Structures are given as C-alpha cells and as structure tokens.
C-alpha cells in the first residue's frame, strides 16, 4: 500500500475517490455558511431567493452586519479579551519556557506534568472551577474586609483568566520547543563581549525565539477568539462574539450571522497562512 507496491486499478481509483469525498465533506459546511450569507431570505436556509448584499450593508428593514451594533460590539469584546489573553500567555509562556529549559530545581518534571493538566481538563470544568473559586474569594473578601472586587465576579476579567489558564500551556509548549534548539554558546559570546545577562537575553535569545513568540501569539489569539466552553461559564453581561452568535443561532437567526462568519473565515484563513509561513521559515532555518 505504498506507491512502490503495485495496486489494482480499482483500489487506486477507489482510494482517490475516498480522498475527494473526504475533502468535500471537510469544506462543504464552510462553503455553505459563506454562500448563504448572500441569500435574499430571512433565514440561512433554502430556498435560494436570489443574491443580495443586504446581510452586510442594509440598514432599512433588514439589519446588515455593518449596522448590527450588538454583533459588532461582541466582536470588539472578543478582540479585547483575545489581546489580554495573548499578552498574558506569551509573557508567562516565555518565562515558563526559560524555567523548563534553563533552570534546574527539584520537582521540575512534576511541574512540567502539572503544566499539561489544563489540556486534559474539559473547558467546562475549568470554567466552573474558576467561577466558584473566584466567587468564594470575592465573598470572603467582602465578609472579612468589606472589599468589593467586581473583577472576581462573572465578566471579562474572569473570561481572560479562564482562557489564559489553558492557553498558556500551549504557548509554553510552542516557545520551549524553540528555546530547546538555542545554542547557549551564542549567549555566552554576548556575555564575553560585555553584555549583562538581561542584555544578552534581549539582544540574542529573544530575537532567536521571535518566530515561536509570533506563532504562540497567533495561536493564543485564535484560541481565545474562538473559545466557547470556558467562556460560557465565566461570561457576565458583555458577551464575546462566540456567545452572542451561539444564542442567535440557537434561537433562530437571519443570515447576518453568515455574513459575520464569512468575514471571520477570511481573516482566520489569513492568520493560518501567516502562521504557516512563520513556522515554515522556522523549520527551514533550523535545518539549514
């Protein structure tokens, strides 16, 4: 079953057809979402009533995407959350990478295993555990010190913390994989040339890490932007776009959701290709 072993014609054709069917299956739902953004109908469903751009631009009768303040605001909310999660995850992920790759201390392998835990805990559980823990802390602070901390109640700060709690693991893995390939001699050369430790890290090590830092940032941003499970449990009155779209789709929606989806798909495809480009460059560099 490899090219060097002859196979019957029927088998080869059958296999190729299977692959074509598979890729049709992969892309059909996405194509469908995109196409129905242009259907001149109240619902994203058949029959096809003709082509329209109403679901993007209309502001009379039908509310198109660019006039749908609720939906646009939710995109803004998601961007805010995603930026917070990305900054936190990349900074802590970088520190974790140095900790795992450079420092020697007892219990290191246990710490590494613990860092992987957030990936095996269902997102819903991460969400509820942080929800009830922060509420308990908030209640305690209120009872004992009379302090009111709204950030500990369901809302965007908690959403950021909840998403960060597992996205940082992925950032850590991406960045430490790159740091492992770093040749320490380079840093020592900088030290010999009179740089301080921090200068050496800043001028030599961090530039070397930059493809991984960019990669980790893109992954963190996307995972945050698309997160649903953890967010659902921690969200307050300001809903990020996934929560808003979920409610709208569940309760029956106009094709305005398709219009937004189409735009998000295009943006995400660009992100994906950008990441592919940086990781491709990274691989070429490391093999060169």
Partner 1 sequence: MRALATAKLEKPERRLSLILLLAPAVVWLGLLIIAPHIQLFALSLQEKIGPRLYETGLRNYVEFFGESIYWMTLIRTTALSILATALTLLIAFPVAYYIAKMLRGRTKSLLFVLALLPFWVSELIRTLGWIIILRETGLISSALLSLGIITEPIELLGNDAAIIIGLVYTSMLFMVVPLVTVLDSLDDRLVEAGYDLGGNGFTVLREIIIPHAMPGIVAGCIVVFMLTLGNILTPALLGGKNSLWFTDQIFQKFIVRFNWEQGSAFGFLLLLTSSLIVWAGLKLTRQSLATTMR
Contacting partner 1 within 192-251 (CB under 8 A): 197, 222, 225-226, 228-229, 232-233, 242, 245-246, 249-250
Neighbours of 274 (CB within 10 A): 13
Specify the residue, 112 or 208, whose C-beta has the smaller distance to partner 1.
Answer: 112
Shortest distance in whole angstroms from residue 175 CB to partner 1: 13
Contacting range for partner 1; rule: CB under 8 A; set: 51-59, 62-70, 141-149, 164-172:
164-172
Q: Is 104 left (phi over 0), alpha (psi -120 to 50) or beta?
A: beta
> Nearest 5°: phi and psi at 39?
-80, 130
Q: Provide the token pair at 126.
A: 């991460």
**Binder among 66, 72, 87, 112 for partner 1 (CB under 8 A):** 112
Place of tokens 């992954």: 219
Residue 124's H or E segment, with its range, is helix 123-145
Contacting range for partner 1; rule: CB under 8 A; set: 63-71, 141-149, 161-169, 206-214:
161-169
Q: Confirm or reject binding of residue 191 to partner 1 (CB under 8 A).
A: yes
**Binder among 87, 92, 141, 195 for partner 1 (CB under 8 A):** 92
What's the half-sphere exposure (Cβ side, CA atoms, 13 Å) at 183?
Answer: 5
Give the separation between CA 223 and CA 226, rounded to whole angstroms: 5
Binding mask 116-155 for partner 1 (x = CB under 8 A): xxxxxxxxxxx-xxxxxxx-x-------------------
Q: Confirm or reject binding of residue 114 to partner 1 (CB under 8 A).
A: yes
**Binder among 161, 171, 239, 256 for partner 1 (CB under 8 A):** 161
Give the separation between CA 133 and CA 129, rounded to whole angstroms: 6
Q: Which residue, among 275, 277, 233, 240, has the nearest Cα to 260 in the 3D structure?
A: 240
Contacting range for partner 1; rule: CB under 8 A; set: 19-27, 49-57, 145-153, 207-215:
19-27
Specify the residue, 55 or 164, whose C-beta has the smaller distance to partner 1.
Answer: 164
Contacting range for partner 1; rule: CB under 8 A; set: 50-58, 102-110, 141-149, 208-216:
102-110
Is there a contact between 44 and 252 (Cβ–Cβ < 8 Å)? Answer: no
Give the separation between CA 270 and CA 208, rounded to whole angstroms: 24
Q: Is 114 left (phi over 0), alpha (psi -120 to 50) or beta?
A: alpha
Contacting range for partner 1; rule: CB under 8 A; set: 44-52, 54-62, 143-151, 202-210:
44-52
Place of tokens 């953890």: 230
Residues numbered 59 to 78 that lie near partner 1 (CB under 8 A) are none
Is there a contact between 74 and 239 (Cβ–Cβ < 8 Å)? Answer: yes
**Binder among 147, 199, 276, 281 for partner 1 (CB under 8 A):** 276
**Binder among 13, 17, 24, 30 for partner 1 (CB under 8 A):** 30
Helices 241-250 and 69-102 sit at what angle, rounded to 10 degrees?
130
Q: How many positions of this chain bind partner 1 (CB under 8 A)?
A: 95
Q: Confirm or reject binding of residue 79 to partner 1 (CB under 8 A).
A: no
């Amino acid at each position: 079953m490899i090219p060097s072993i002859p196979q019957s014609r029927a088998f080869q054709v059958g296999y190729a057809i299977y692959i074509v069917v598979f890729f049709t299956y992969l892309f059909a739902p996405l194509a469908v979402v995109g196409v129905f953004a242009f259907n001149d109908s109240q619902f994203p469903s058949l029959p096809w009533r003709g082509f329209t751009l109403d679901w993007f631009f209309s502001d009379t009768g039908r509310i198109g995407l660019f006039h749908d303040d609720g939906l646009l605001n939710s995109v803004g909310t998601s961007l805010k959350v995603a930026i917070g999660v990305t900054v936190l995850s990349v900074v802590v992920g970088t520190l974790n990478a140095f900790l795992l790759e450079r420092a020697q201390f007892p219990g290191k392998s246990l710490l590494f295993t613990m860092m992987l835990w957030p990936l095996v805990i269902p997102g819903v559980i991460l969400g509820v555990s942080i929800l009830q823990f922060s509420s308990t802390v908030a209640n305690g602070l209120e009872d004992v010190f009379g302090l009111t901390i709204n950030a500990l109640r369901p809302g965007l700060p908690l959403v950021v913390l909840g998403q960060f709690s597992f996205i940082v693991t992925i950032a850590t893995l991406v960045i430490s994989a790159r740091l492992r390939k770093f040749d320490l001699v380079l840093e020592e050369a900088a030290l010999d040339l009179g740089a301080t430790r921090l200068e050496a890290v800043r001028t030599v090590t961090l530039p070397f890490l930059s493809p991984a830092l960019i990669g980790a940032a893109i992954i963190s941003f996307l995972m945050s932007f698309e997160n649903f499970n953890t967010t659902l449990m921690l969200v307050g009155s300001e809903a990020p776009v996934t929560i808003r779209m979920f409610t709208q789709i569940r309760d029956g929606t106009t094709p305005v959701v398709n219009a937004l989806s189409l735009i998000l798909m295009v943006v995400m495809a660009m992100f994906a290709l950008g990441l592919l480009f940086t990781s491709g460059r990274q691989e070429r560099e490391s093999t060169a």
